[in-house]
């Protein structure tokens, strides 16, 4: 099951553009104050740093990712989630597109 939509969101209209546009997201705030973002990573190999802990949920496409301190690349496809601790990082490899929801823990 993939999450096709998120209801009741207040959407920040200005996009977050990272890595010269290889990652573009829009920030959302839900009625209960929960913050998320919806975004896409285009073909690239990137390293993302976390402030708060995050859960990345794939909604379309896919990626390979490697958490800090791990040597293992793992795959993530539609419906899959992976968690990144606070103040950490992960590498991500995308061949086509990785569409995601970022949940902040």
Binding site for its own copies (CB under 8 A): 2-15, 17, 20-22, 24, 26, 28-29, 38-40, 42, 59-60, 97, 99, 101
Reported residue count of the chain is 105
- Taking the complex as a whole, the smallest distance from the CB of residue 64 to its own copies amounts, in Å, to 19
> Based on CB atoms, which residue is closest to its own copies, 70 or 96?
96
Dist. CA 2–CA 53, nearest whole Å: 21
**Across-strand partners of 81?**
57
Please tell me whether residue 20 adopts helix, strand or coil conformation: helix
- Taking the complex as a whole, the smallest distance from the CB of residue 2 to its own copies amounts, in Å, to 8
> Based on CB atoms, which residue is closest to its own copies, 57 or 84?
57
- Taking the complex as a whole, the smallest distance from the CB of residue 7 to its own copies amounts, in Å, to 4
> Based on CB atoms, which residue is closest to its own copies, 28 or 92?
28
> Based on CB atoms, which residue is closest to its own copies, 5 or 72?
5
Q: What is the DSSP string of 36-81?
A: EEEEEE-SEEEEEE-SS-EEEEEEEE-EEEEETT----EEE-TT-E
């Amino acid at each position: 099951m993939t999450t096709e939509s998120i209801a009741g969101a207040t959407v920040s209209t200005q996009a977050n553009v990272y890595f010269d546009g290889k990652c573009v997201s829009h920030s959302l705030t839900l009625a209960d104050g929960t913050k998320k973002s919806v975004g896409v990573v285009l073909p690239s190999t990137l390293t993302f740093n976390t402030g708060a802990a995050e859960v990345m949920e794939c909604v379309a496409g896919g990626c390979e990712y490697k958490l800090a301190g791990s040597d293992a690349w793992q795959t993530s496809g539609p419906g899959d989630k992976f968690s990144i601790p606070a103040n950490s990082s992960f590498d991500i490899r995308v061949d086509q597109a990785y569409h995601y929801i970022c949940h902040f823990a």
